[in-house]
Amino acid sequence: MIGLYTAEEVRAAEAPLLAATAEGALMQRAAAGLASVCGRLLGAVYGRRVALLVGSGNNGGDALFAGARLAGRGARVTAVLLDPERAHPAGLSALRRSGGRVLAASDPAAPPLIGRADLVLDGMLGIGGRGGLRRDAVELTWAAAGGAGIAVAVDVPSGIDASTGEVDGVAFPAMHTVTFGAVKRGLVVGEGRGHAGQVHLVEIGLGHHLPVATAWQLTDADVAARLEPPSAGDDKYSQGVVGVLAGSATYPGAAVLCTGAALRTRPGLVRYAGGAADGVRAAWPEALVTEGGPGDAGRVQAWVVGPGGGTDEGARAVLAEVLATDLPVLVDADALTLLAREPELVRRRSAPTVLTPHDREFERFGTPVGTDRIGAARRLAADLGAVVLLKGDATVVADPGGTTFVNGTGTADLATAGTGDVLSGIAGAVLATQGTTGLDTAEAAAVAAHLHGRAGRLAARRGPLIAGDLVRRLPEAVGHVCGVPPALLGDSQA
Ligand SMILES: NC(=O)C1=CN([C@@H]2O[C@H](COP(=O)(O)OP(=O)(O)OC[C@H]3O[C@@H](n4cnc5c(N)ncnc54)[C@H](O)[C@@H]3O)[C@@H](O)[C@H]2O)[C@@H](O)CC1
Ligand SMILES: [K+]
């Protein structure tokens, strides 16, 4: 798992390390790592044009020292200083000694020079940045965005809040971010994620000074470790039985997608109960289907309730019935609307509950999501005593104790009708294995979000995706995270 940290946590961890190391040593480590990533991105360094955007803090110092190293390898480096009086003095001398040039940001030659650069290094603001970019910094940012060079942010893209990912106005649109010591949360969540590009972590020795993270990102390997493969002793019941309560006679789509996703994730046994029975039977002969309610479905190990289920009295009764059980329940879509009216239905539960709102559904519980998505998900989870999976570009999963997962596999291609129903089915299937795997509820939800994103990425390789493509790609997504070569994945190659 990759720990995700706030700017404050990183600062607190840096303090003892700074005290224990020679002055400037940490910055040298940072600059060496930064220059080496830039060198790799450029391929050949000799003769390449590099522009440094330099602010008044240590972030600018990192850029200047890295620029000096690149100049030492023959790059043509020019530093553009936002505040020439306050630029890092030692960094500036090092750059000059290596043959680098210096310009003030106010110099009319600066924007065209940035536009022509092969690589632009954004050292305007780091974790000490507050508020949005000022006008001069915005102009340099536009010049970089309009140029053809590789845009690389130092530590964090200038203009994002390193802890929340909030962007107030304009932020540097990096293709790569070279971050030091720890991955800052703002690089993976909210608008910050879209500005960070590919994140490269450079170790500077912060390791054991960091606190245990309270926010994490799962890797493919982490997800694989949480998906127990079927064993020789398993039968269809022991792999986890999911009950899907979704859709209606008029709108069977959500039920079909949700049931299919559950089957394709963990093909033990999926039971369906509800008005879309005919549609589900036609699409998934593998499912056990009834027109009745949850009580007619047979035994299950987890319920999924809500997608396309409506908000009438009957739907409310179904929701209340499953929430009164001691089984894991995933509450989505229409059932969230119902739950927002009667949150005590979930507050009085002790069994695992996962709510999967998007922003508008989240707001029905009282407050809008706002710009701090991790904070928002944690607040609602603590308030309701349930796991909250807040959907988004980077889906955030928070448990009532505050442990949080930020999904890294999401893609904009998933913003299409029905993909939420697929996520619910996947999550239901993973939750149904809790009885045998002992998997933590928030981790189960995070595993589902990861697989959902993986399936989305695989499907999007072939062009625009629809929700059904996600279902088709799920076995391949599971195989991908578990390291199974695609050629061995049977009919999912179609
Ligand atoms: N502390 C350390 O041990 C290390 C820090 N490193 C670098 O240092 C950075 C943090 O350095 P700083 O604390 O100097 O912070 P910054 O480099 O982010 O700069 C803060 C400075 O910018 C000004 N400022 C804040 N918001 C502004 C805005 N919106 N517009 C214009 N000016 C603004 C402040 O007055 C302050 O002087 C990290 O992000 C990282 O790049 C690395 O060198 C690794 C080691
Ligand atoms: K920066």
CA-based nearest residue to 148, from 173, 119, 168: 119
Token code pair at residue 452 = 């959902």
pLDDT in tens, 98-120: 999 999 999 999 999 999 999 99
Domain boundary among 174, 196, 213: 213
- 207 and 229 in a single domain? The answer is no
Residue 160 CB–ligand 1 contact under 6 Å: no
Ligand index nearest the alpha carbon of residue 128: 1
Inter-CA distances, 218 with 223, 224, 451, 466, Å: 7, 10, 11, 25
Cα dihedral 355, 361, 366, 370 sign: positive
Average pLDDT over residues 180-189: 98
- Residue 435 — very low, low, confident or very high, per pLDDT cuts 50/70/90? confident
- 38 and 114 in a single domain? The answer is yes
Structural domains counted in the chain: 2
Residue 49 CB–ligand 1 contact under 6 Å: no
- Residue 63 — very low, low, confident or very high, per pLDDT cuts 50/70/90? very high
The answer to whether residue 377 sits within a structural domain is yes
Residue 18 CB–ligand 1 contact under 6 Å: yes
Q: How far is the CA of 55 from the centre of ligand 1 (A)?
A: 8
Element (H, E) at 389: strand 387-390
Question: Annotated binding residue at 395?
Answer: yes
b (16+ CB within 10 A) / e for 56-73: bbbbbbbbbbbbbbbbbb
- Cβ atoms of 442 and 428 closer than 8 Å: no
CA-based nearest residue to 329, from 221, 424, 256: 424
Rounded to 10 deg, the angle between the 441-460 and 419-431 helix axes is 140
Q: What is the pLDDT of residue 231?
A: 77
b (16+ CB within 10 A) / e for 279-289: bbbebbeebbb
Query: Looking at ligand 1, which residue's alpha carbon is closest to its atom 42?
Result: 27
The answer to whether residue 81 sits within a structural domain is yes
pLDDT for 493 beyond 60? no
The answer to whether residue 185 sits within a structural domain is yes
Q: What is the pLDDT of residue 490?
A: 44
Q: How far is the CA of 59 from the centre of ligand 1 (A)?
A: 5
Residue 130 CB–ligand 1 contact under 6 Å: yes
Ligand index nearest the alpha carbon of residue 91: 1
- Cβ atoms of 75 and 46 closer than 8 Å: yes
pLDDT in tens, 308-329: 999 999 999 999 999 999 999 9
pLDDT for 492 beyond 60? no
Measured in degrees and rounded to the nearest 5, phi and psi for residue 352 equal -60, 135
Percentage of the chain modeled with pLDDT above 90: 93
- 343 and 478 in a single domain? The answer is yes
Q: How far is the CA of 181 from the centre of ligand 1 (A)?
A: 15
pLDDT in tens, 371-386: 999 999 999 999 999 9
Spatial distance between the Cα atoms of 232 and 4, rounded to a whole number of angstroms: 38
- 209 and 224 in a single domain? The answer is no
Spatial distance between the Cα atoms of 251 and 248, rounded to a whole number of angstroms: 5
- 243 and 182 in a single domain? The answer is no
CB-based burial of residue 368 (10 Å sphere; 0-12 exposed, 13-18 middle, 19+ buried)?
A: exposed
Q: What is the pLDDT of residue 89?
A: 98
- 66 and 204 in a single domain? The answer is yes
Give the other-Cβ count within 10 Å of 115's Cβ.
Answer: 17
Residue 27 CB–ligand 1 contact under 6 Å: yes
Domain boundary among 180, 213, 246: 213
Q: How far is the CA of 410 from the centre of ligand 2 (A)?
A: 24
- Residue 349 — very low, low, confident or very high, per pLDDT cuts 50/70/90? very high
Spatial distance between the Cα atoms of 188 and 458, rounded to a whole number of angstroms: 20
- 180 and 323 in a single domain? The answer is no
pLDDT in tens, 437-488: 899 999 999 999 999 999 999 999 999 999 999 999 999 999 999 987 766 5
Q: What is the pLDDT of residue 234?
A: 80
Site to probe by mutation for ligand 1, drawn from 9, 58, 152, 206 as the one with most ligand atoms within 8 Å of Cβ, is: 58
The answer to whether residue 491 sits within a structural domain is no
**What SS3 class is residue 32?**
helix
Q: What is the pLDDT of residue 488?
A: 54
Ligand index nearest the alpha carbon of residue 162: 1
314's CB contacts (< 8 A; 6+ apart) are none
Domain boundary among 183, 213, 243: 213
- Residue 489 — very low, low, confident or very high, per pLDDT cuts 50/70/90? low
413's CB contacts (< 8 A; 6+ apart) are 456, 457, 459, 460, 464, 465
Bin 333: left if φ > 0, else alpha if -120 < ψ < 50, else beta: left
pLDDT for 150 beyond 90? yes
pLDDT for 361 beyond 60? yes
Give the other-Cβ count within 10 Å of 81's Cβ.
Answer: 24
460's CB contacts (< 8 A; 6+ apart) are 411, 413
- Cβ atoms of 337 and 331 closer than 8 Å: no
- Residue 232 — very low, low, confident or very high, per pLDDT cuts 50/70/90? confident
- Cβ atoms of 333 and 258 closer than 8 Å: no
Question: Annotated binding residue at 254?
Answer: yes
Residue 53 CB–ligand 1 contact under 6 Å: no
pLDDT in tens, 243-295: 999 999 989 999 999 999 999 998 689 999 999 999 999 999 999 999 999 99
Q: How far is the CA of 129 from the centre of ligand 1 (A)?
A: 6
The answer to whether residue 473 sits within a structural domain is yes
Domain hosting 186: range is: 2-213
- 166 and 208 in a single domain? The answer is yes
Inter-CA distances, 12 with 131, 209, 211, 383, Å: 21, 8, 9, 29
Q: What is the pLDDT of residue 290?
A: 98
Question: Annotated binding residue at 450?
Answer: no
- 182 and 236 in a single domain? The answer is no
- 106 and 148 in a single domain? The answer is yes
Question: Annotated binding residue at 310?
Answer: no
- Residue 494 — very low, low, confident or very high, per pLDDT cuts 50/70/90? very low
- What is the CA 315 to chain-centroid distance, rounded? 32
Average pLDDT over residues 218-226: 95
Spatial distance between the Cα atoms of 55 and 52, rounded to a whole number of angstroms: 10
Question: Annotated binding residue at 62?
Answer: yes
In this prediction, the answer to ipTM > 0.95 reads: yes
- 148 and 35 in a single domain? The answer is yes
Element (H, E) at 302: strand 302-305
The answer to whether residue 145 sits within a structural domain is yes
Token code pair at residue 91 = 């960094």
Q: How far is the CA of 125 from the centre of ligand 2 (A)?
A: 5
- Cβ atoms of 458 and 480 closer than 8 Å: yes
> Residue 72: which CATH number?
3.40.50.10260
pLDDT for 491 beyond 50? no
The answer to whether residue 490 sits within a structural domain is no
Residue 206 CB–ligand 1 contact under 6 Å: no
Q: What is the pLDDT of residue 146?
A: 97
Ligand index nearest the alpha carbon of residue 29: 1
Ligand 1 atom, smallest distance to 155 CA:
41
The answer to whether residue 137 sits within a structural domain is yes
Q: What is the pLDDT of residue 487?
A: 60
> Residue 375: which CATH number?
3.40.1190.20
Spatial distance between the Cα atoms of 183 and 297, rounded to a whole number of angstroms: 46
Site to probe by mutation for ligand 1, drawn from 59, 134, 152, 209 as the one with most ligand atoms within 8 Å of Cβ, is: 59
Give the other-Cβ count within 10 Å of 485's Cβ.
Answer: 8
- 139 and 233 in a single domain? The answer is no
